[in-house]
Amino acid sequence: MDVPVPCTGCGGMFPPVDGPSHRYMTSSPGCWQAFGAVLAADYASPERMAFHQVVVDAYAAQHPGEDGPQQVQSVGLHLMTLCLFLEEGVDPALGPALHRRMVRRPQFHRVERSGPGGLTVLHMPVTGPADAARTAAYEWADAVWSSYTPDHATVRGWLRESGLDSV
């Protein structure tokens, strides 16, 4: 019997998997594999693709990586769109276009979270109705966003500086 191992990014318990993980996000191979299953479910369903960016942003912000410029910028961008989706009701389908505008922002700095958040990718169903997956995605995203509460003002400032505080 395989004993589950914790993911270094989210703290979730995953089967021990001998496989890849993301090159700069901190995750265990088991967590990365579970995320891949959720992505596959999203890409197979137009209804799930409508909120796919929420899933991607939640995962990326929950697995922040180290202090390199790419990791810091990635977390900043994903937190900015999570803020817009959760607090402003912005359509997640706009996520990629928003990221292209946000990346022009001159400088991000590392933000800290109070913990990984109470939910992980394991909260996301890979089968069943898209409405249930949408609810789960927003619950997970809210848990991740809440884990960065001390830096919400910083993220909102980045949105203002990017001209995206009122999309």
Q: Which amino acid is at 77?
A: L
> In the chain, where are the structural domains located?
46-161
CA gap 158, 102 in Å, rounded? 8
Residue 105 pLDDT exceeds 80 = no
Which whole-number Å values give the CA distances from 140 to 11, 126, 162, in the listed order?
14, 14, 26
Cβ atoms of 97 and 86 closer than 8 Å:
no
Please give the model's pTM, rounded to 2 decimal places. Answer: 0.93
Q: What is the secondary structure of 90-142 as a DSSP string? A: --GGGHHHHHHHHTTSS-------SSS-S--GGGS-SSS-HHHHHHHHHHHHH
CA gap 145, 163 in Å, rounded? 21
- The phi, psi pair for 115, rounded to 5°, reads 170, 180
pLDDT confidence bin for 167, thresholds 50/70/90: low
The 3-class SS string of 56-69 reads HHHHHHHCCCCCCH
Residue 30 pLDDT exceeds 90 = yes
Give residue 154's pLDDT.
94
31-65: per-residue pLDDT in tens?
A: 999 999 999 999 999 999 999 999 999 999 999 98
Residue 30: which H helix or E strand, with range?
helix 29-43
Give the best-scoring range by mean pLDDT among 12-21, 76-85, 110-119. Answer: 76-85
